[in-house]
Every structure is written in C-alpha cells, then in structure tokens.
Amino acid sequence: MDPSWSKGSRTLSDPRIAAIPDVHGHAKGEHRPFAEERPIAYSARMLFLWFYHACRRGSPRFLMVADHINYLTFEDPGAVNTVRRALKLAHAGDLYGAAETAGVDVAHASVVSDGLRRGMRFSIGAEVDNDPRARPDAQNIVDAMRPDGIVRSVHFITIDHPEKGADFAWAFDNDEFAHLFDAVGADKVWELYTAKYFDDLEKLPAHVAGHFYAPAGFGHWPVQKALEAYEDRLLEICHARGLAVEINTRFLYRDNGETEKKKLLDANARLIAKAKARGVGIAIGSDAHSPKDQGNGFDAILRLLDGAKVNEIVFPVGGRLARVALRATREHLEAQAKTRESPAPGSSITGYSRAELGLPEETEAAAGARRESARAHREAGPKKRSIDATRASKRPEPAAGAAKSTSKRSADSSSQSSKAKAARAPAKPVAPAKTAAKAPAAKKPAAKAKPAPAKTLKKPVPAPSKSAAKKAAPPARPKAAAKSKPAVKAKPIAKSKPAAKAAAKKVPVKKASAKKTAPKAAAKPKKLAAKPAAKKKPVAKKKPVKRR
C-alpha cells in the first residue's frame, strides 16, 4: 500500500506527502548572528530559483515564500511582481520570456514550466512579527507586495533584563539569548508571549497563526492546564477571524532531542484535533531557510493528520485561504456534497476535478446544464436569437406584488380587444365584387399573392374605354391605385390615357360642325397624339439601360 518512492534526494513513503502545502519558507537564507542581521532585497532570480528546486524535486506541490519582516526592503515589491510575471510566462510555455524576465537559464525556466503544467502552484507572502529592527513603514512594503498570505508570529517579548534594565526586547527563540529563560521563568515567558500573540492576532492583518509553540523550542513548557487554556484561546480567535493555525515542522529536522520532539508531536496532535473539532483551518509549514528543507518533516505530520482524520489543508492564494484535499475518498466526497448546500468560505486550487472537491460555486449538474444551454444557443443562429430577444423585450415579466392587478388588467384588455375586433370586423369586407373573389388569395403566403396584381394590371391596359365605367365606381379607384403603386411600368400607360380622353372630347365637337371635316379632325389628333409620344421618349431612357 505504501511503497516508497523517491523525489530528488528525499525518499517519501506516501505520495500524499507531496500534496501537503508548505506555507512557510524563507528564500532569503539562513539566520545570521543577531548583530549581523540586515535587510536583504528580493530579486526575481532568488524567488524563481526557490520555486525551481521544488519543481525539480516534485514536492511540495504548493509552496509559499514568507520571509521575515525585518528583511524586507522597498525593492521587494518590484521583484515580487517581476517573478509573478515570469511564472505566468513559464506556465504559458514561453521559456525564453520567463528566463529573460527572471534572469535565469532556459533550463531553469523549463523545469518550472513543467512543474506548473503538472499542477504545482506558488504563492508569495510574508511572516510579519514584532521585530523592533524592522522599518517603521514595513507594513507599506507588505501592502505593496500584495501578499498571497500573511503569517502572523511573535519573536520578541518585553522583559526586565537583569543587566540592561526594563523594557528589553528579548528574542526568546534565539540561541544567543536562551540563557534568559532562567531569569524570567517558563510560566512568565508563556504568559507574556501569549498576551502579545493573541493581541496581534485580534487586531492586525493575518491569514495564518504561525508556530504557536515557539517558546518551547528549548524545552520550556508551562503547566499542562495553562497550555491547554492557551490552545483553546488561540483556536477561539482563529475561528472568530477566519484564520488558520500553522503546524510548524522545523523542530523535526533541527538539533532537538527525542524527548523534545515527542512533546512537540503530542502538542501538535492535540492542536490538530482541537482545530478540526472547532472548524479552524490547518496549515503546514516547514519554516525552511534552505531549498533542501522544503516540505521537510511532512511524513511525520501526515501521520498526525491521519490520526485526526483530517483530509483538507489550507493554502493562502490571492489573500484567501484555499482548501487542498490530500485524498479524494468516498467520505470526503460525501462531506463535500453536504457543504454544497451550506458552502464554507474559500475554494480549492488543486488539480482535482470538481466532482472530487465539490466547489460550492457551481455543481456538476449546473455546469452541464449551463454548457448545454450555451451549445443550444450557439446552434440557434443569430436570427433566432434576435427574434427571441425581441419577444422577450416585448413581454416583460410583471412584478411579484402586482400579480393580481395584472390578472385584472389582462381580463379587461381581453374584453376590450374582443369588442374592438367586433367593431373592426364590418369595416374590412367593404370592397367590390372583384376584390371579394380575390379574398382567398390574400390569405395565401406573400409569395403567391404577388402575381395577382400583375394580372390585374395587364387586363385594363388594352381597354382604355373602361375608364369611364371606373369613374362611376369611386370606391374601386383607391384600391386599384394601391395595387398599381408597386408597378413602375404602368405609369406611362396611365399618362397616355388623358390623350385618348382629349381625342374623345374633341370628336363630338367636330361632328357637330360638319361630317366632312370629321375625318380631318380625327387625323389631326393622331398627329398630336404621336407628337407627345415622341416627346415621351425619355421614358424609354429611364428603362434598365441606365441601370445597367
């Protein structure tokens, strides 16, 4: 079940170890002597190579840099933004762009690119403590970095130094000042430490409560009852503010005796169980100051997680706490299905499917329905979508409070519309007998109704004498004119009618004068009729000759 497998120089007994996020690492290197510590500026190369070592080893899959606040400088935000751009280029496969941006070789960019495509993710945060050597405006640097997460910790407490007097800032977890435990006492140290620690967690920005058991690094513990009371108070604050509690593994690979390691393992196991019962997120940090220590000691922590039946670990990303599942079991999937109904804050950034992790934003059924509707919408075409849009715009949904009023209005409108139809019904059939015969043709489609007016136009053309009969029927004229509007060729025929009418009027006048002159008079109007026909030749010019 647990065959050992190797990644780089480390042998891991369980593949889930690589999936445990490491939220606490220091890319700026090992601690120097207290008097020699100075601010060290980030560089894009420094950060990129920190992630490169994790990609080369294949673990941890999720890694965050969180250097101490006293090491931060104003050059750091620029370097952080540069390496973030380089990581995006590497993720996109632009190896030359990533290498040039980060100042590394193309081989380094290739390894990081492969790791990102396999699902590895990197964050950049800060460990913010109460170091008096930090700049007074250090919080401005942190804000400019736009950290993915802030690890809140305490490394100094104020004591009465036996030689230097009161208000001495004591680095209680530094080897150089460990002898002061004898002068202060373990109980007093824990009292001062927890007072400052809890006050910072309640008032200052934070995402993760870092290494709570820091004062016990040299074997100094308070009484058990007081220790458990401190643990309960810590989890109460984290639950109220939505913070995660860190399980720090630095004690597992540093120079500590087996007795101290056993005590710290027991304390961390108790804290994990309490955090799960309280609903507080759990974060794991190696506190590595060298790439070789990234994810170190996680095999022992995995046994504690399995003992408490914890399957989800938090990882800061973009200023929020994402959830990472170590293994997708049936119990885990059922628990995730329940959380869909009452979603918890945060989301998963792992490479697992939505069915495995069950993101609360959208279920698989909702996603399938959305994709199906989008596909049907694309296949409908632009014409159908425009028709649906116009119909939707014409029929707005009524308000919920106006349901009764709309029903009454619809009933009144239906009665009024029926009355209006009854009033308009007799007005439509007013037409001569010829139009009544053509009524069924009007019900046919528009394609079949077009040839009907063309036939009616051709029939009256050869019989101009029927115009007198049409004058006696005035209601027929407007309909005939309406039908002749689309026909452009009928205009010259209509204009030639007055000439024939004029000839018809002149004929009876000349018949009254003399019978012999009648044929002469009839010949003259023919010439006159021919002349206007010649003048109307430009009508022929308007034919499709110019249109061509």
What pLDDT shows up at residue 54? 97
Pairing of strands 10-12, 5-7: antiparallel
The pLDDT assigned to 488 comes to 47
Name the DSSP class of 438: T
- Quick: pLDDT tens for 496-538: 444 444 444 444 444 444 444 444 444 444 444 444 444 444 5
Domain extents in the chain: 5-327, 491-548
Looking at residue 516, its pLDDT comes to 45
Find out whether 230 and 193 touch, Cβ atoms under 8 Å: no
- Between the CA atoms of 432, 437, 439 and 442, what dihedral angle is there, to the nearest 10 degrees? -120
Instruction: Find, among 290, 237, 214, 241, the residue nearest to 25 by Cα.
Output: 290
Helices (H) and strands (E) in the chain, counts: 25, 12
Q: What letter does residue 194 receive in the DSSP assignment?
A: H
Q: Which residues contact 304 (CB under 8 A, 6 or more apart)?
A: 247, 265, 268, 269, 272
Phi/psi of residue 39, nearest 5 degrees: -60, 135
pLDDT at 334: 74
pLDDT the model gives residue 362: 56
C-alpha pair distances (Å), 49 with each of 27, 42, 120, 277, 412:
9, 12, 15, 39, 77
Per-residue exposure over 533-542, b if at least 16 CB sit within 10 Å of its own CB, e if not:
eeeeeeeeee
CA distance 267 to 272: 9
Structure tokens that stand for 483 in this block: 């039908």
Question: 5-327 has which fold?
Answer: TIM Barrel (3.20.20)
Q: Which residues of the chain have pLDDT under 70?
A: 1-12, 329, 332-333, 335-336, 339-364, 366-367, 370-371, 373-548
Distance from C-alpha of 90 to C-alpha of 82, rounded to nearest angstrom: 12
* Residue from 153, 135, 136, 148 nearest 72 by CA: 135
Q: Determine the pLDDT at residue 547.
A: 54
116 to 56, 86, 88, 108, 350: CA distances (angstroms): 11, 12, 9, 12, 12
Contact 195, 188 (CB under 8 A): no
| Residue closest to 204 by CA, chosen among 283, 280, 130 | 130
What is the distance, to the nearest Å, from the Cα of residue 138 to the centroid of all Cα atoms in its chain?
Answer: 33
The pLDDT score that the predictor gives to residue 143 is 94
pLDDT of residue 247: 97
